[in-house]
Structures are given as C-alpha cells and as structure tokens.
Amino acid sequence: MKNFILQNITPAEGETGVRSYHCTYYNSRLLGMKAHGYLEVTNKRVVFQALGESHAGASIIQSEVPMADISGINSYKGTFFSILHILGALILAFIIFSLIPVIMTLIQYSAEVQNDTWIGIIWGLTILTFIPSFLLKYSSIWRVVLASASAAFLSTIAALSFLSDLAGSFLGSRSQGSTGWQVIVLAALVIYILICIINYARRPTFTLGIGSKGGSSTPINISGASGLGIFDVAAGKALTAEPAEQAEEMLEELGAVIMDIQSMGDFGITKWKKTQNVAQVTAEPRL
C-alpha cells in the first residue's frame, strides 16, 4: 500500500510519502458506519485518515502531527471483554434453548410420530448441530447458535425420555433409566455454551496515540475499546477501533521510521522507502 493518504489530501511543497499502513477499521452499528483507517508517514508529517460510509453518506476522520513535533508513541493491539456481546449471546442462547423444545414437541404431535422414532430423529439433529460448532471460529456467534441448538435438542430428548419412563412406571413396565446420563451430557453442553459465549465476548481492539512536543495533547489518537467494553458505551464512545491487517507491522516499524527521519533526514527517508519497495516485491506472486 503506497501513498494512500497523499492521494486524498493536498501534499505540502516537497512532501513525499515514506510508509503507509492499513492499521485499523471502525464498524459502528450505533452510527451505521464502516471505515478503514490508514496511517501514513511522510518526510514532513504523520497523517491518520479513516474513510468510510454511513447511512448519512461518506465520512472522514483525519488527524496529523508535524514530524518535528512528535514526542512519543503509545500503542496497544489485543483484546477486551465486551459485556454487551456476552449479554447478547446469552439472550440469543436462551431464546434458542427455550423455543426448540416447544417447536419439536408441536411437530411431533402434529405429525403423530412415535416417541422412539422421534427421539432418534432428534438425536441426529443434536449431532448435526454439535459437531459443526467446532469448525467455526471462536469469535463467531454461529458457534454459540449451534451449541445452543444442540443443547436444546438434547433437552428435548431428556424430557421425552423422562415422560416415557414416567408413563412406563405407571403402566408397570420396566424403566430404561436413560434420563440420568442425558442430564449429565446436557450439563456438559451448557458448560460448552458458556465457554463459547466467553470466547465470543473477547473482541479485538487497537489503540494508538502519537504525542506532540507542543503540550500534553495527542494529535493522533486512535481509540479502541478497553476493560469490559460497557464503560466505553457509557462514556459515549460510539466508534472503537479494531486492528487491520497491517497493524502489527506498523507497531513494529513506526517508532524506528519516525526516529530515523528525525535524526537522519533524507538518509532515513531513503532507507525506509527502499525497505517498503523490497517488501512489495517480495509480496508479489511468482508467475
């Protein structure tokens, strides 16, 4: 990615791009906005720009700091625990766990399927929803959905088996005693659902602050979520940054790029331009 931001802004006299990074993106459901953020280092300044689209039209976030005024860099790329995500996943799991047994019972009575045959069908659905859940990413809500559906099907089987055993005891027939181990498996599935929800609630986040010598201000401040996430919403932080594909590369290089340009001038600029050109050639596919 070369000189992305300089294509969208008017460069100063003699200004040239040195390094450009696709470092972050924003995805705000509250504002209906998606934006990709780029950080560009030139020989004169460091510029951050996020271009995106919302329901109201195009949106631009931009901040910059002169190269000579940069005093320090603070950054973080990692995860935070989102209370809103865990609450949403819990509500979704509860709805699935509540509705499926009711739906399966209504289908059985309307289709007049025998109890043993219906239990076999539900066992197949339990397995078909449980196994694919392991193939999904930890951050996917569909992992929670499939695990909850599998537990709901199993709870239906346990309920049908209990009713069958109860009816058999009244009729004097011998109980199969299968409900006990089904309840144990169901408890294990509930624990698995909770693990899936916790993993889903761990969301990626990215922060970057570039300080200025002119005071305590931070001209470039890319702000991500922190802590439990709910405090960011309470504080009115509708936009939180997440890491993009070049976030780690930027964090590894940015300090060295700025220091070399500040101390070495044109030699530092030439050094990092050559480094970027080599990286681009290496990344090109061989024919």
Per-residue pLDDT band at 111 (split at 50, 70, 90): confident
pLDDT in tens, 31-41: 667 888 999 99
Residue 53 belongs to domain with CATH number:
2.30.29.30
- Closest Cα partner for 250 from 208, 205, 204? 208
66 with 129, same domain: the answer is: no
209 with 73, same domain: the answer is: yes
Contact, 8 vs 49, CB < 8 A?
yes
88 with 73, same domain: the answer is: no
152 with 58, same domain: the answer is: no
State residue 131's pLDDT score. 94
154 with 99, same domain: the answer is: yes
Per-residue pLDDT band at 153 (split at 50, 70, 90): very high
Tokens 């060295």 map to which residue? 256
Percentage of the chain surpassing pLDDT 70? 78
3-state SS record for 45-106: EEEEEEEEEECCEEEEEEEEEEHHHEEEEEEEEEEEECHHHHHHHHHHHHHHHHHHHHHHHH
246 vs 183 pLDDT, higher one: 246
Residues in the chain: 287
State residue 287's pLDDT score. 34
Which domain-ending residue is among 167, 200, 233?
A: 200
Which domain-ending residue is among 185, 200, 215?
A: 200
pLDDT at 282 over 70: no
The answer to whether the pTM exceeds 0.95 is no
pLDDT in tens, 203-218: 888 889 999 887 667 8
pLDDT in tens, 138-150: 889 999 999 999 9
pLDDT at 249 over 50: yes
65 with 116, same domain: the answer is: no
Give me the number of domains the chain comprises.
2
Give the residues across from 50 on adjacent strands: 37, 61
CA distances from 41 to 1, 4, 74, 189, 273 (A): 12, 11, 16, 51, 11
210 with 71, same domain: the answer is: yes
State residue 233's pLDDT score. 45
Single-letter residue type at 142: W
Residue 132: give the domain boundaries. Answer: 83-200
169 with 225, same domain: the answer is: no
277 vs 70 pLDDT, higher one: 70
Which domain-ending residue is among 172, 200, 228?
A: 200
Contact, 38 vs 246, CB < 8 A?
no
Per-residue pLDDT band at 236 (split at 50, 70, 90): very low
Contact, 61 vs 49, CB < 8 A?
yes
